Amino acid sequence: MQHSKRRRRAFTLAVSAALTASAFAATGGSATAARAHASGAHASSATIHVIEHAITDKEIPTGGGKDVKGNILTFNNPVFNVSNTHKVGHDEGFCTRIAPKKHIWECLWTTFLKAGQITVQGPYYDNRNSVLSITGGTGAYRNTRGEMNLNARDGGKEYDFIFHLS
């Protein structure tokens, strides 16, 4: 029994180290962009900070005109490292307009990085930042959960994606 606990602890530390290395590589090697630790309660956690350039966003009317409930916003944008100097991946996804007068969209998208993909779902607001749920991932992020802070930059031309992986 004790041998099994040691083996799980060693596995937990190995997973934590792998997440750290993957997050570090995915963000262009920024030391402030990735961190990981292991404890008895938490297997591992990491923070990945990338910047999306919102250049392909397109609202598709569903019959009622521009900016009405039910419209779909689609995108496939480049994603850059935390210093905003090198492309490190891209994203693709869509949002559905839920409440135009309240400035609310509900979104689902995947961010593609070198170490794997991270999928998020949650609200996007026209006039304030939001937090989305991390619903899963692939590669180094295959067992990932957590949340992503979505922060507008430069009037919505760019967005901080700050993934808090757990």
Lowest-confidence segment of 18-27, 106-115, 129-138, 141-150 by average pLDDT: 18-27
Q: What range defines the domain where residue 21 resides?
A: 2-165
Question: Which positions ≥6 away from 37 have C-beta within 8 Å?
Answer: 16, 44, 45
Please tell me the number of Cα atoms within 13 Å of 42 on its side-chain side.
13
**89 in Cβ contact with 113 (< 8 Å):** yes
- Beta-carbon neighbour count of residue 153 at 10 Å? 14
Q: What is the pTM of this model?
A: 0.76
Contacts 24+ apart (CB under 8 A), 32-41: 32/82, 33/81, 33/82, 38/12, 38/13
Domain count, the chain: 1
| CA dist list (Å): 5 to 12, 45, 94, 152, 166 | 10, 20, 43, 44, 21
Q: CA distances (Å), 130 to each of 84, 101, 118, 161, in order?
A: 21, 17, 17, 10
Interval 64-103: pLDDT, tens: 899 999 999 999 999 999 999 999 999 999 999 999 999 9
Query: Does the pLDDT of residue 8 top 60, yes or no?
Result: no
Q: Please state which of the ranges 30-34, 79-83, 99-103, 139-143 shows the lowest mean pLDDT.
A: 30-34
More confident residue, 30 or 141: 141
- According to the model, what pLDDT value does residue 112 have? 98
Contact 73, 95 (CB under 8 A): yes
CATH number at residue 121: 2.40.480.10
Beta strand 87-99 pairing with 104-113: antiparallel
Instruction: Tell me the C-alpha distance between 84 and 76, whole Å.
Output: 18
3-state secondary structure of 70: coil
Dump pLDDT digits (tens) for 148-165. Answer: 999 999 999 999 999 999
